[in-house]
Amino acid sequence: MKRLGLLLLAAVVVIAAGVAIFLFKPASLPDVSAAQAKLPAGQALIDRGEYLTRAADCVACHTTAGDKPYAGGLAFKLPFGTIYSPNITADKDTGIGNWSDAEFVRALHQGIDKDGQNLYPAFSYAAYAQMTTEDALAIKAYLFSLPPVKADAPKNELGFPFNQRYVMRFWNLLFVPSGPLQPDPAQTAEWNRGAYLVEAMAHCGECHTPRNLFYAVDNGRKFAGAELQGWKAYNISSDKRTGIGGWSDQQLFDYLSKGHAENRGAATGSMGEAVDFSLRHLTPEDIKAIVTYVKSVPPQTSTDKAVVEAEPAALTASTAYAPAADAATQDGLGLKLFQGACASCHGWNGEGLQTPYAALKGSRTVNDPDGTNLIQVILKGAHMTTPQGRQSMPAFATAYSDVEIAALSNYVLGHFGGKQSAITPADVAKARTQ
């Protein structure tokens, strides 16, 4: 018995030592010389880097509204605290101007900073881990070709134990792919290009795939939809009812490359940003490849109530300039507000008055009885850069009270989506804090 006890104790000591070595051993640097040798020189490298930096949408998270691109400072509210994106311009004091190629590649592939500290997965490195080393280096070359910006990001606000960065080493072991995405020989070149763009670059799953208990993307439910920062990133699997299985290739192509599609509404919130900063800059061939890949993702049913009804009775009975008699469904306040503040751009028949960007017919946002994204759009407004100029909707957060926005939302859902909803002023008050 005594012997067994000693053996057990020895085993525990050995395991504990192993874990300690794993947690505290300095992180090694990857060898990037082979990839460096394969890269083009000069402007060709910077151009390739610019395209890829856009495709990976680094700017969305590393820039605050109206501020210098890539200078960081954007807040990420996580369930366990707030962290801020760092400055990734080439400034030597406050940015990453002193980082070597190998240190940069390690950050993108393993989520480890210059000092060997682990980074948190609010930085989408679990996706970028699948990027080739050459592409990562091209991105660095582009970022380093821009003027450095001096700007310190605010300090992170994380309590114990979440401020213990080494804990992420276990997470990385479990959830971060090692090595670039391997092409699937059974699929076409277009599909493989789409897979690479979606998984290693555009990181669609970081927003659209639900997360597990450990905050890792749950690929068993790929693209089934998730909530982030007060918005729903809808189900984009090929499920016909709750996903985008009913969308034509053309609709998906238009939505991703222009930010709106006929009878599907507009991209707003962080999807609006993804289109504006990133997707609309990609070549038509690359968008087509993304469409091919996304449409091949197996259907996932979700419990989301946002099932789109394209032709609700009130909508089809209305003209662009006048609503059908549907005022009876509400107390009249919502209808009155829509008439005063919204109808001049959106019209009453869902086609949009000034521009097709304002078409609401068939949009999931006006079909979701929870009103999640609808309330956010009304509070924050929306905009999109287009070949016809900037399309925009003003923010109404300060113009209207919670009571007014709740009534307006219920009216919009009834009229444009044929949905019975019960959005309360408390729902709007909550949305204001997100």
- Site residues for ligand HEC, 275-314, by CB under 6 A, read 290, 294
260: annotated binding-site residue? no
Residue 42 or residue 391: which is nearer to ligand HEC going by CB? 391
Residue closer to ligand HEC (CB basis): 42 or 390: 390
With contact defined as beta carbons under 8 Å apart, do 407 and 330 qualify? Answer: yes
Closest listed residue to residue 415, CA positions, set 297, 324, 281: 324
DSSP string over 130-169: TS-HHHHHHHHHHHHHSPP---PPPPPEE-TTTT-GGGHH
Among 54, 295, 364, 380, binds ligand HEC (CB under 6 A): 364
Q: How far apart are CB 216 and ligand HEC at their closest, in Å?
A: 14
SS3 96: coil
User: Least separation, in Å, of the C-beta of 212 and ligand HEC?
Assistant: 18
- Closest to ligand HEC by CB, 13 vs 231, is 231
Is 62 annotated in a binding site? The answer is: yes
Output phi, psi for 189, to 5 deg: -60, -35
Residue 83 DSSP symbol: E
Minimum distance, C-beta of residue 199 to ligand HEC, in the bound complex (Å): 9
Sketch the per residue contact string, 409 through 428, with ligand HEC: x for CB under 6 A, - otherwise: ---x----------------
Please give the helix or strand (H or E) that residue 125 lies within, else none: helix 125-128
**58 labelled binding-site residue:** yes
Whether the ω angle into residue 161 lies within 30 degrees of 0, i.e. cis, is: yes
**383 labelled binding-site residue:** no
Q: Is 415 annotated as a binding residue?
A: no
Residues 76-135 that bind ligand HEC (CB under 6 A): 76, 83, 85-86, 88, 96, 107, 113, 119-120, 122-124, 128
Measured from the CB atom, is 33 or 100 closer to ligand HEC?
100
Per CB under 6 A, which region of 11-19, 209-217, 321-329, 356-364 contacts ligand HEC?
356-364
281 marked as binding residue: no
Q: How far is 371 from 388, CA to CA, in rounded Å?
A: 30
Considering only residues 184 to 203 of the shown chain, the ones binding ligand HEC according to CB under 6 A are 198, 202-203
Q: Which pair of structure tokens corresponds to residue 38?
A: 């394969």
Instruction: Give whichever of 14 and 93 is closer to ligand HEC, judged by the CB atom.
Output: 93
Residue 99 has which token pair? 């980082």
Among 132, 172, 363, 421, binds ligand HEC (CB under 6 A): 363
Of 370-399, binders to ligand HEC (CB under 6 A) are 373-374, 377-378, 382-384, 391-394, 396
The answer to whether the CB of 201 falls within 8 A of the CB of 240 is no
Longest dimension (CA), the chain: 89
Q: Cα dihedral sign for 196, 200, 201, 205? A: positive
DSSP per-residue codes, 28-69: PPP--HHHHHHS--HHHHHHHHHHHHHHTTHHHHS--TTS-T
Closer by beta carbon to ligand HEC, 187 or else 263:
263
Q: Which of residues 29-68 bind ligand HEC (CB under 6 A)?
A: 56-58, 60-62
- CB of 187 or CB of 385, closer to ligand HEC: 385
**How far from 77 is each of 102, 113, 332, 415, 434, CA to CA, in Å?**
30, 21, 37, 34, 9
In this chain, which of 51, 175, 255, 348 binds ligand HEC, going by CB under 6 A?
255
Residue 203 assigned as binding residue: no
Which residue, 17 or 349, is less far from ligand HEC as judged by CB? 349
d(CA 102, CA 31): 7
- Burial bucket for residue 178 (CB in 10 Å: 0-12, 13-18, 19+): exposed
Give residue for tokens 């804990």.
167
Nearer to ligand HEC, 60 or 216 (CB): 60
- Does the annotation place 204 within a ligand binding site? yes
> Residues 45, 408, 413, 431: which binds ligand HEC (CB under 6 A)?
408
Tokens 């709106």 sit at which residue? Answer: 260
User: Considering the rule CB under 6 A, would residue 138 count as an interface residue with ligand HEC?
Assistant: no
CA 336/CA 329 separation, integer angstroms: 13
With beta carbons less than 8 A apart as the criterion, state whether 93 and 238 touch.
Answer: no
Residue 61, annotated ligand binder?
A: yes
Whether 243 contacts 302, CB under 8 Å: yes
Cβ-proximal residue to ligand HEC, closest one:
265
* Binding-site member from 106, 169, 193, 260 for ligand HEC (CB under 6 A): 260
Per rule CB under 6 A, count of chain residues that contact ligand HEC:
77
- Binding site: residue ranges? 58, 61-62, 204, 207-208, 342, 345-346
- Binding site for heme c: residue ranges? 58, 61-62, 204, 207-208, 342, 345-346
